Amino acid sequence: MSRALTKALSSQWAATLYAAAVSVGLTFLLGRVLGPAGFGEYSYLLTLGSLFAILQDGGFSTLVFRETAKAGLSPVPGRPSLLSLALGHLLAVTLLGLCLIPLFPHGQRLPLGAAVVYYALFCASSLVSSELKGHNNFAAEALWRAVVRTATALAAGAALLFPSPGPLAVFAGLAVGQLLALATPYARPLLTRPKIGLYRDVYAPCAAFLCISAATTIYFRCDIVLLKFLTGDDATVGNYAAAYRLIEGVIMLATPLAHVFFRKLRVSLDDQGAFGRSFRLMLGVMIALAVAATIGGLILGPFILRLAFGDKYAAAEPLLAWLLASLPFILPNYVLTQGLVALGRERYYAVVTIIAAVLNIALNFLFIPLLAAKGAALATVATEAALCAGLGWAFVKWGFTKR
């Protein structure tokens, strides 16, 4: 492994471990302070906000990363920069979202509005990360993420000091933390005038990335929404969310490796031999991590759940065992998706992901009435397995040839 790659990975993992520790600590604090019912309501609103954030991002964060690493779009005279178009899109969609808030129940309007604002700032932070990673500034990007996570965690933690805090206080705190981070010099790339313009060569890949993000978020998050809709039990939602937080922690640790290798794959696009070697190495590493994480989770998961959330979340322990079965598919899927995006086959990726999202929704409607939260976990495992098969077929069919 080269020194540059080692430095990039070490800085990314350090930032990820730090962000994971802070995020887990904040999640545990929220779970204890809000209780199962309050944590379930917060998780539900967070899910709604994350779904709308797909439209706010519009696929621009992925496009900025890809095009900054190795430009593929032909220059067009007079066309604004990708960051200018991304910010214009973000502002327009956020204003639209705030206008739609009155359509929701009265008690959810203020916290949901705060969630929309928070995710707008979150998307702006993601654009900074994409710009830094695309220019191979992984160490600077790692510091940027540490700054963002520190600011948001401190602000959200401070919000919990208010009497009887609820989701509104938490989302307001998160938004304030994002604002503080964006006020630092790290966010200098965003100092550009937002512009709106429909450019086919920009919005065509953005549309594919948006569909991918939408489908991915739907099958990652719709279980929370459907659990609340089909069971009406906030405590069940809270227990499921607590178990899934540990799965997300494992995914978070694997993300830096995927991002570093994505840039390597993109840069080596014209050398199929180098591309194939990097791809196979990354796939092997992810499979090994998945096996280790699954075994470790089965042994230590119940202890971690009780230590983190308390005895009130004892019902989350069997849910964790079911969800761990998805890791052998989730982590290799990371490699398969990064490879397809690097090769420019995002349209195929989008189609497979949309099919997976539809399958996940159908399975949730089928299993949740029968098995409640265990049914949602089973739907997650089945969806990830189907997605793995669909993505893998692309490499069987086309190999490592770029589109």
The pLDDT tens digits for 269-294 are 777 777 888 888 888 888 998 999 99
* Structure confidence at residue 278 (pLDDT): 81
Asked if 83 contacts 190 with a C-beta cutoff of 8 angstroms, the reply is yes
Return the pLDDT at 177. 93
pLDDT for position 115:
92
Tens of pLDDT, residue by residue over 335-379, are 898 888 878 788 888 889 889 989 999 999 999 998 888 999 999
C-alpha span between 306 and 328 (Å, rounded): 24
Identify the pLDDT of residue 324: 93
Determine the pLDDT at residue 403. 66
User: Which pTM was predicted?
Assistant: 0.69
pLDDT value of residue 349: 87
Please tell me the predicted confidence (pLDDT) of residue 77.
65
**Residue ranges of the chain with pLDDT lower than 50?**
none
Domain boundaries, the chain: 3-206, 234-398
Asked if residues 96 and 129 have their Cβ atoms less than 8 Å apart, the reply is no
Residue 195's pLDDT is 85
Q: Return the closest-CA partner of residue 138 out of 281, 13, 285.
A: 13
pLDDT of residue 385: 94
